[in-house]
């Protein structure tokens, strides 16, 4: 089955700097890669996703890149703000119709004012 | 807005008790999921359901069962709670025909003593 690795496990950046989180996956059949943000006391919430027919996607300060050949994808956050502090999870779809997601172990991002 | 609600935010149970965790979604989603979240392990799939009365085992089904009698409701059952089931439990749902975004509830923090 699919296996997703995520690095780093913790990341501290100064406000205004950029943050990059990287994930690798094992199953070349995976075709959907969402990123979720989990704030304290809340459930994960989708922030951006990318499908395997696209190499890059941007939404304001957030971007995701996908390298299918290398089986890795990355989350890029520019101009970080204190409210970006949270745990971020990457995931890859698997299974029939891809309805199951396999999640990475998470990255705790701290943005220091 | 999609809403996924979980019956309790915090729950404390004794070893050997039968525990019910309930999840309700209001967007007529076909798929519903139960995950367990532990530090450093990310989200691990316990069970998912793609239709009423239908279920599939996830990666860690041992010690758990599920019930889906109505489309909007998905219950997770711990037949005989054990201390190693102390964890955060997250419910999610999405539409069929995916892969599509999963919407998460706020989670239930279960402590088994």
Q: Tens digits of per-residue pLDDT, B44-57?
A: 999 999 999 999 99
Using a pLDDT cut of 70, give the percent of chain B over it: 98
Report yes or no: B101 at the A interface, CB cutoff 8 Å: yes
Q: Whole-angstrom Cα distance, residue A3 to residue A26?
A: 5
Using a pLDDT cut of 70, give the percent of chain A over it: 96
- pLDDT number for residue A96: 57
Residue B44 class from Cβ within 10 Å (0-12 exposed, 13-18 middle, 19+ buried)?
A: middle
Q: Per-residue confidence at B98, pLDDT binned at 50, 70, 90?
A: confident
Three-point CA angle B5, B6, B10, nearest 5° = 135
Report yes or no: B40 at the A interface, CB cutoff 8 Å: yes
Nearest CB to B104 within list A45, A93, A100: A45
pLDDT of B92 strictly over 70:
yes
- pLDDT number for residue A20: 98
């Amino acid at each position: 089955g699919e296996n997703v690795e995520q690095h780093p496990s913790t990341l501290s950046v100064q406000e205004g700097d950029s943050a990059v989180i990287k994930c690798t996956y094992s199953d070349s059949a995976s075709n959907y890669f969402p990123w979720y943000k989990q704030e304290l006391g809340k459930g994960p919430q989708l922030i951006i996703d990318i499908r395997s027919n696209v190499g890059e996607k941007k939404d304001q300060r957030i971007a995701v890149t996908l390298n299918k050949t290398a089986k890795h994808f990355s989350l890029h956050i520019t101009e970080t703000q204190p409210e970006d502090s949270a745990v971020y999870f990457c995931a890859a779809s698997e299974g029939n119709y891809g309805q199951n997601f396999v999640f990475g172990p998470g990255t705790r991002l701290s943005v220091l004012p | 807005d999609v809403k996924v609600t979980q019956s309790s935010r915090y729950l404390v149970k004794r070893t050997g008790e039968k525990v019910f965790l309930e999840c309700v979604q209001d967007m007529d989603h076909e798929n519903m999921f139960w995950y367990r979240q532990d530090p450093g392990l990310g989200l691990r799939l316990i069970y998912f359901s793609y239709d009423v009365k239908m279920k599939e085992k996830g990666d860690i089904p041992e010690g758990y069962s599920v019930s889906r009698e109505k489309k909007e409701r998905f219950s997770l059952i711990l037949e005989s709670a054990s201390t190693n089931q102390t964890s955060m439990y997250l419910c999610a749902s999405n539409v069929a025909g995916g892969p599509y975004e999963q919407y998460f509830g706020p989670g239930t923090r279960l402590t088994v003593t």
